[in-house]
Amino acid sequence: MIEYVTKEVDVDIGGGRDEVDVDVDIGGRDEVDVDVDIGGRDEVDVDVDIGGRDEVDVDVDIGGGGDDVGSNFSRKPKLSSKLPRVYVRVLQALVYGSGVKPAFVYGSRSNDRYTMRLQGPWRSIVDRCLTEASTVRSSALYPRVVDLGGTEAWSDVLLKMQCAKDADPDEDECHAVVTTACPEISPRFLFGMTIAGVRISFMEWLDDCASLYDLHKTKSPLLDVGMYTGVRDAITKMWLTAGVLHCDLHPNNILIGRKTRAVYIIDYGMAMQIDGEMRDDLHEVLHRKGVRAEDAFDAICKDHALKVIVRRGYNVDDMDDWNDDGTFLRLLRSTYCKVKKKK
pLDDT tens-digit series, residues 70-119 = 233 333 444 555 677 788 788 777 777 666 666 666 544 556 678 888 87
Percent residues over pLDDT 90 in the chain: 43
| 187 within 8 A of 157, measured Cβ to Cβ | no
Domain assignment of residue 265, yes or no: yes
- Under the banding of pLDDT at 50, 70 and 90, the label for residue 140 is confident
What is the model's pLDDT at position 99? Answer: 67
343 found inside a domain: no
Q: What are phi and psi of 235, to 5 degrees?
A: -65, -45
pLDDT number for residue 128: 80
Final residue of a structural domain among 204, 224, 253? 204
214/329 same-domain check:
yes
* Domain presence at residue 341: no
Number of domains in the chain: 2
Q: Does 79 map to a domain? A: yes
Q: pLDDT category, 307, cuts 50, 70, 90?
A: confident
Residues 224 and 147 in one domain: no
Same domain, 186 and 165: yes
pLDDT (0 to 100) of residue 112: 64
Predicted pLDDT of residue 28: 42
Last residue of a domain, one of 204, 227, 244: 204
For position 342, what pLDDT does the model report? 62
> Is residue 62 situated within a structural domain?
yes
Do 214 and 275 sit in the same domain of this protein? Answer: yes
Most confident option among 25-34, 66-75, 78-87, 154-163: 154-163
Examine the fold and report which residue of 204, 231, 255 is the final residue of a domain before the chain moves on: 204
pLDDT band at 7 (very low <50, low <70, confident <90, very high): very low
The answer to whether residues 28 and 165 belong to one domain is yes
Q: What is the pLDDT of residue 133?
A: 66
Domain range for 51: 8-204
Flag whether 196 is in a domain: yes
Q: Please, what sign has the CA dihedral across residues 281, 284, 287, 290?
A: negative
> Are both 194 and 284 inside the same structural domain?
no
Distance in Å from the first CA to the final CA of the chain: 48
The pLDDT value recorded for residue 34 is 39
Q: What is the pLDDT of residue 111?
A: 62
Q: Are residues 197 and 311 in the same domain?
A: no
User: Does residue 2 lie within any of the structural domains?
Assistant: no
pLDDT at 38: 34
Q: Are residues 214 and 296 in the same domain?
A: yes
Q: How big is the CA angle at 176 (ends 256 and 253), to the nearest 5 degrees?
A: 30
Three-class secondary structure of residue 264 per DSSP: strand
Residue 220 and residue 198 share a domain? no
Q: What is the mean pLDDT of the chain?
A: 76
- 342 located within any domain: no
Co-location of 197 and 234 in the same domain? no
Residue 87 and residue 64 share a domain: yes
Residue 35 shares a structural domain with residue 155:
yes
pLDDT of 54 above 70? no
Reply yes or no on whether the pLDDT at 243 is more than 90.
Answer: yes
